[in-house]
């Protein structure tokens, strides 16, 4: 597994000068463009396409849009190209237009994308998720509000019967058999992700979706083994990780996206995250924590600005020794470089920035004067970089 300070030790070397003194030779490459390894997987740089829903699937099936969208980011130089949230069950989709991995046809269609992304030198990654009580909503350009069963939606489930917001329907609380069924669906989706050829798996446990609903006291009002105490509220997450690791090879990395704070008084906090990540570090099944925040309560108050979540990733990294990823408005190459160079995080995730410019990594490499960057030979004569 990767150590958080690995980029400092693996790229510098000491040699002897003519007078016998030891000279430290530093890697001339920008930190953003130095490889990093997680278990058996090495990435060509520290840039990862953040999972960004495209709301363009039919019955959970990927299509040419997904191939071109993800393939273009691989061609554009990202080190890790991650799918949008791929849902483990039909009722776990955010919208009816989201990707799924509950059948083999979906697996086979995703495998086509995996092959193309890999052929461009990027590491193919997949994020698996379940929206819980935040499922069955419209697409952003349709208002993102709840969609009723009469309009093509479905009944949602969660740890408790608490709705996300006042105007939202109350979800059906999962009983023990229901919890086991959701965890098994995650395990089977993990198996299919492995069979499709993905090299990194990320579990979506953030942004107010099902796993987050369990661990946050704002959404969990249970009084059994899955509610109440901190240990009980994280039980669903830990059992989910156990199920995933039974299907995901030991030599392949497992990432976990967390909402590090709810940004609401009385909700999940940074202290809770550090406590959880120390447990994960001791268990050894998670290789990196993707540090996001919020999404579980409309009362949240988030101080949004470029790099606003970087301190979250840095604090988790420093307090636990776990590798972390920073995400959120990191579109300036100098900012992205400083995050890795200063040890604030091990990876930089770009979502909207890479949506707007699939060649952001190549442009950043030029801006940071990176050498030995792999450029698509088909585009070299454009002289636009």
Q: What are phi and psi of 295, to 5 degrees?
A: 100, -5
SS3 call for 62: coil
- Annotated catalytic, 55? no
Asked if 37 and 66 touch (Cβ cutoff 8 Å), the reply is no
Q: What are phi and psi of 83, to 5 degrees?
A: -65, 165
Catalytic site residue from 55, 164, 209, 379 = 209
Residues 6 or more apart in contact with residue 328 via CB below 8 angstroms:
292, 304, 307, 308, 309, 310
* Nearest alpha carbon to residue 320 among 34, 5, 38: 5
Range list of β-strands (E), 172-248? 172-173, 200-205
DSSP string, 133-162: GG-SB--GGGT--B--GGGT----EESSS-
C-alpha distances (whole Å) from 55 to each of 48, 98, 141, 143 are 20, 5, 10, 13
* Nearest alpha carbon to residue 60 among 37, 40, 88, 80: 88
Give the side-chain half-sphere CA count within 13 A for 117: 32
Residues 6 or more apart in contact with residue 309 via CB below 8 angstroms:
260, 291, 292, 293, 326, 327, 328
Q: Which residue matches tokens 């990876």? A: 347
Residues noted as catalytic = 209
């Amino acid at each position: 597994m990767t150590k958080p300070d690995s980029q400092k030790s693996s790229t510098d070397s000491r040699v002897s000068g003519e007078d016998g003194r030891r000279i430290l030779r530093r890697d001339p490459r920008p930190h953003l463009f130095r490889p990093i390894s997680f278990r058996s997987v090495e990435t060509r740089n520290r840039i990862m396409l953040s999972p960004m829903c495209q709301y363009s699937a039919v019955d959970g099936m990927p299509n040419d849009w997904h191939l071109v969208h993800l393939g273009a980011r691989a061609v554009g130089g990202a080190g890790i190209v991650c799918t949008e949230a791929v849902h483990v069950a039909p009722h776990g989709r955010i919208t009816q237009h989201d990707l799924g991995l509950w059948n083999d046809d979906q697996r086979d269609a995703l495998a086509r994308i995996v092959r193309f992304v890999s052929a461009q030198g990027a590491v193919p990654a997949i994020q698996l998720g379940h929206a819980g009580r935040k499922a069955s909503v419209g697409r952003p350009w349709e208002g993102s509000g709840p969609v009723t069963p009469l309009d093509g939606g479905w009944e949602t489930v969660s740890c408790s019967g608490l709705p996300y917001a006042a105007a939202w329907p109350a979800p059906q609380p999962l009983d023990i058999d229901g919890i086991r069924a959701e965890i098994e669906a995650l395990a089977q989706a993990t198996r299919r992700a492995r069979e499709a050829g993905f090299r990194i798996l990320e579990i979506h446990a953030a942004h107010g979706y099902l796993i987050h609903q369990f661990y946050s006291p704002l959404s969990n009002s249970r009084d059994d083994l899955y509610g109440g105490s901190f240990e009980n509220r994280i039980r669903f997450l830990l059992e989910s990780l156990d199920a995933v690791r039974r299907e995901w090879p030991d030599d392949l990395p497992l990432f976990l996206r967390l909402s590090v704070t709810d940004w609401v008084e009385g909700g999940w906090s940074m202290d809770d995250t550090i406590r959880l990540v120390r447990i994960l570090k001791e268990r050894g099944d998670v290789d990196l924590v993707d540090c996001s925040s919020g999404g579980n309560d409309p009362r949240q108050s988030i101080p949004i600005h470029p790099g606003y979540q970087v301190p979250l990733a840095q604090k988790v990294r420093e307090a636990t020794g776990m590798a972390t990823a920073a995400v959120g408005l990191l579109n300036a190459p100098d900012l992205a470089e400083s995050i890795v160079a200063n040890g604030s995080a091990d990876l930089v995730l770009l979502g909207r920035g890479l949506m707007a410019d699939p060649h952001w990594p190549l442009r950043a490499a030029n801006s940071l004067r990176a050498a030995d960057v792999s450029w698509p030979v088909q585009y070299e004569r454009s002289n636009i970089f």
